[in-house]
């Protein structure tokens, strides 16, 4: 039921009102266990992105929690990292974020956050699933039912927190923000303006249906055009729940998550804040990042894909910076999860502080051509065990030798198998990726 980032599905078909209530009621005794044991009602923060289905799903979650004896702060529309921050800032027992991140508007999801705004462990997720199967959930009565209160200054508290993290103001910079018609449409422009930047905003008119539609971190074309048209110093793109950030330099060229992590690793290293001179990344990060960090005296620690695994790796060594190529960047001294607004502010601050254009900062690494093919209509559960697929992977690796690499994995958030190939040139990478994708499509095809 739980993927790499909560429970996700088509709203009102797989993610229903009934399931939303049941998940909330199952999570309450697990994540509120310490409070119940101490004889008090647990406190939770609930937030959502602006997709239209979030209204009825949040109502269901609020009802499920309050009916289980949980006091709830309803924070309304907020980024995922804002919800995580508020859980810790309020000393709440847990939080719930209703979002499907970069997915289209018909999808939605429920993410639970443990005390401190932390991602759930596998054990906590398993325990919630076990409670989901209980026929008679906890049902207090009278004064023991939970209260629901509106959290009126949630966004302001988050913006104040973001501004307190900045090592340098953004005065003199012109920044274009693409908010993906998502959860950051209000707070991201406010934060950048308060930090001193001149701000041009696109993709900040959410209507409940246009989230991520042709904009944001999955569609950078409009941001590139806007940066060029306004002569901006840089552009920042969020996804629907603003837990990720990609950038565009002053020339309109894309700066991906690997480049952002490379830039920020050196920024923290210069300030003595990159603990153990280590950057935590996933296996999807470009080989060019690894080579660049070796040259700069920064060690890379690799994890499997998913920001929860990056976080686990960071906690293991008490590291201060980690993230994913997709733009989830985690500053452990300031956040418990990927934070697209925080990342954008920190990146802009580095440009302002050094006086170096973003294109120059991004030149710290040279990206090897990398082609990613998403194979749909297949049984992703068999991706790691099918003999023909594994043989095809081995052959591709042999052809590439030490000049590239192959990564094949089932997506944790979508019904697809991802085929990624790096090679010395684009043509070779694409040829190998498409050849391998054909094998995956043929061997793992779902039959009616």
Positions annotated as catalytic residues are 101
Chain position carrying tokens 């989230």? 211
Q: Is 333 annotated as a binding residue?
A: no
DSSP annotation of 204: -
Name the nearest CA neighbour of 244 among 217, 262, 213: 217
Euclidean distance between the first and the last CA atom of the chain, given in angstroms as a whole number? 23
Looking only at the bridges linking them, the beta strands covering 405-410 and 416-422 are antiparallel
Q: Say if strands 198-202 and 174-178 run parallel, antiparallel, or are unpaired.
A: parallel
CB atoms closer than 10 angstroms to residue 73: 23
Bridge pairing between strands 148-150 and 71-77 = parallel
H or E element that contains 70: none
Q: 89: annotated binding-site residue? A: no
Distance CA 150, CA 290 (A): 46
Give the dihedral of Cα atoms 72, 76, 82, 88; nearest 10 deg. -10
Q: Is 101 annotated as a binding residue?
A: yes
In contact, 349 and 166? CB cutoff 8 Å: yes
Tell me: is residue 190 an annotated ligand-binding position. Answer: no
Q: CB-based burial of residue 446 (10 Å sphere; 0-12 exposed, 13-18 middle, 19+ buried)?
A: exposed
What 3-state DSSP class applies to 91?
coil
Residue 309 and residue 120 in contact, taking contact as beta carbons nearer than 8 Å: no
User: Which 3 state secondary structure label does DSSP give 6?
Assistant: strand
The C-alpha atoms of residue 104 and residue 45 are separated, in whole angstroms, by 24
Q: Annotated binding site: which residue ranges?
A: 101, 239, 241, 243
Q: Annotated binding site for Mg(2+): which residue ranges?
A: 101, 239, 241, 243
């Amino acid at each position: 039921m739980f993927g790499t980032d909560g429970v996700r599905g088509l709203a009102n078909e797989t993610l229903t009102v009934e399931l939303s209530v049941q998940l909330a009621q199952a999570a309450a005794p697990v994540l509120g266990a310490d409070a119940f044991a101490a004889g008090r009602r647990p406190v939770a923060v609930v937030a959502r992105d602006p997709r239209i289905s979030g209204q009825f799903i949040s109502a269901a979650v609020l009802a499920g929690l309050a009916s289980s004896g949980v006091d709830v702060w309803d924070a309304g529309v907020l980024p995922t990292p804002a919800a995580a921050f508020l859980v810790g800032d309020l000393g709440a027992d847990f939080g719930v974020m209703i979002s499907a991140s970069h997915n289209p508007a018909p999808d939605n999801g429920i993410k639970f956050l443990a005390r401190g705004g932390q991602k759930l462990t596998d054990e906590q997720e398993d325990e919630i699933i076990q409670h989901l199967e209980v026929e008679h959930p906890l049902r207090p009565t009278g004064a023991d039912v939970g209260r629901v209160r509106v959290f009126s200054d949630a966004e302001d508290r988050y913006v104040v927190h973001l501004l307190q993290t900045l090592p340098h103001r953004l005065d003199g910079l012109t920044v274009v923000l693409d908010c993906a018609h998502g959860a950051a449409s209000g707070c991201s422009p406010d934060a950048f303006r308060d930090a001193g930047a001149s701000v041009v905003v696109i993709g900040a008119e959410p209507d409940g249906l246009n989230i991520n539609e042709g904009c944001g971190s999955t569609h950078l074309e409009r941001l590139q055009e806007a940066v060029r048209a306004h002569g901006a110093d840089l552009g920042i793109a969020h996804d629907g729940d603003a837990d990720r950030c990609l950038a565009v330099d002053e020339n309109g060229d894309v700066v991906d998550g690997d480049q952002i992590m490379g830039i920020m690793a050196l920024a923290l290293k210069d300030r003595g804040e990159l603990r153990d001179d280590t950057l935590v990344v996933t296996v999807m990060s470009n080989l060019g990042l690894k080579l660049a960090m070796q040259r700069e005296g920064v060690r890379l620690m690799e994890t499997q894909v998913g920001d929860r695994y990056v976080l686990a790796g960071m906690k293991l060594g008490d590291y201060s910076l980690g993230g994913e190529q997709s733009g989830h960047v985690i500053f452990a001294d300031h956040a418990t999860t990927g934070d697209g607004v925080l990342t954008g502010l920190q990146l802009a601050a580095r440009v302002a502080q050094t006086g170096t254009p973003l294109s120059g900062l991004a030149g710290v690494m040279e990206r090897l051509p990398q082609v990613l093919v998403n194979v749909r209509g297949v049984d992703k559960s068999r991706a790691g065990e099918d003999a023909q697929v594994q043989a095809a992977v081995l052959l591709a690796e042999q052809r590439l030798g030490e000049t590239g690499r192959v990564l094949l994995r089932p997506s944790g958030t979508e019904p697809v198998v991802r085929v990624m190939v790096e090679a010395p040139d684009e043509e070779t990478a694409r040829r190998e990726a498409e050849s391998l994708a054909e094998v995956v499509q043929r061997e793992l095809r779902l039959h009616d």
